[in-house]
Amino acid sequence: MPIWDFLSGQFIDVIHWTDDTRGTMVWRFDRQGHEIKYGAKLTVREGQAGVFVHEGQVADVFTPGLYMLETNNMPVMTSLQHWDHGFQSPFKSEVYFVNTTRLSNMKWGTKNPIMCRDPEFGPVRLRAFGTYTIRVSDPAKFLAEIVGTDGNFTADEISYQIRNIIVQAFSQSIAQSGIPVLDMAANTADVSKLVADAIAPTIAGYGLELPELYIENISLPPAVEKAMDARTSRGLAGNLDDHMKWKAAEAMGQPGSAAGGAMEMGFGAQLGMSMAQQQTGGPWGGAPQPASAAPPPPPPVEHVWHIAENGQTSGPYSKARLGRMAVDGQFSRASLVWTAGQDGWKRAADVTELAQLFTIMPPPPPPPVG
């Protein structure tokens, strides 16, 4: 092998990464045993960050741009400085490219129901699911805390941990929010914000952030949903008696339907039986049945009376009581009486109903004849 080919095999002039996948978060530049050439070009594209790791420690983080690796104090060594090691430098430097774009449409959901207390239904179990967007906010911390030495780290490797954090924060936020179950659908944006604020410190410790968190659905157990559907149906029906009458009238207006035909047959049979009874004089063709006697009229309402005497009233008294008072001399023809429906006070003698009380007693004797 010519010496130039050997030397060129030891040099890498351009360090870059183009990602054609949907979920790769960290990719390590594959050196294949080669050292990085002094003066090589490092290209960091938009949506990326370059992390230099020298001898196992993060040395520097490069933002998007083009860099010439020429500075002596950088942890990038060239094999030309180590001829005595046969182009095998003892200083090992690695370059990790970190994807800093948003990874969207990440799924989360409750594996088991969440117990919460609702002011209307009492203790209920809830399930929820949705999506979130994740992004690397601190490449160095993310590499140190999560990735380690993984040369091809994907979002699937951390999605399970993120989902557990979201579910735990969701449970706490629902319990503390006090939002009724029936109003949660109208407040999913507020609940999402509560969950995102609750998990932000934990996620930041991983060098990550969640720019977006969505709750797509909050569901109840099937038994509770069935009870709510029945309650909604009763509310739509309104007054059940009027609802049944309307359904019967609607069925009668459809002669071709089974309900309309059945009701027409029923009414026809009833009309035929009525006509047969009128012609034969009875339900079995016998003598005409006498008409049922009319019910007796209700008994008349008994009046009660009030008595006015010396500017004061007393009573009420029944007619029988007034009769006893007339015998005892406590009630006379000149006594003023009133009852409900009567126009003003009247003398007892002028009231037909009370005048009868004084006919059982003889009138006062006439004056003596002189």
Question: By the 8 A CB rule, do 98 and 44 touch?
Answer: no
Q: Could you say which architecture CATH assigns to the domain 103-224?
A: 2-Layer Sandwich (3.30)
Q: Helix or strand or coil: residue 203? A: helix
Q: Where does the chain hold its CATH 3.30.1490 domain(s)?
A: 305-358
Q: Kindly report whether the global pTM for this prediction surpasses the value 0.75.
A: no
Write a three-state SS string for 313-351: EEEEECHHHHHHHHHCCCCCCCCEEECCCCCCCEEHHHC
Token pair recorded at residue 276? 């047969």
Token pair recorded at residue 134? 């994740």
The number of residues making up the chain comes to 370
CATH of 305-358, one of 3.30.70, 3.30.1490, 2.70.98, 1.20.120: 3.30.1490
Q: Where does the chain hold its CATH 3.30.479.30 domain(s)?
A: 103-224
Tens place of pLDDT per residue across the chain (370 aa) = 444 444 444 455 688 888 777 789 999 887 655 466 666 788 899 999 998 887 778 888 899 998 876 655 454 444 334 434 333 344 467 888 999 999 988 999 988 888 888 777 778 888 889 999 999 999 999 988 888 888 888 888 888 899 999 988 888 888 777 788 778 777 888 888 888 999 999 999 999 999 999 988 888 778 777 777 776 766 665 566 666 676 676 666 665 555 555 555 555 556 566 665 655 555 555 555 555 667 776 666 677 878 888 878 887 888 788 778 887 777 888 888 888 777 788 888 888 777 777 776 565 667 777 5
Helical segments of the chain, H only:
3-10, 139-142, 156-177, 188-204, 222-237, 240-252, 258-280, 319-327, 352-355
> What is the C-alpha end-to-end distance of the chain, expressed in Å?
181
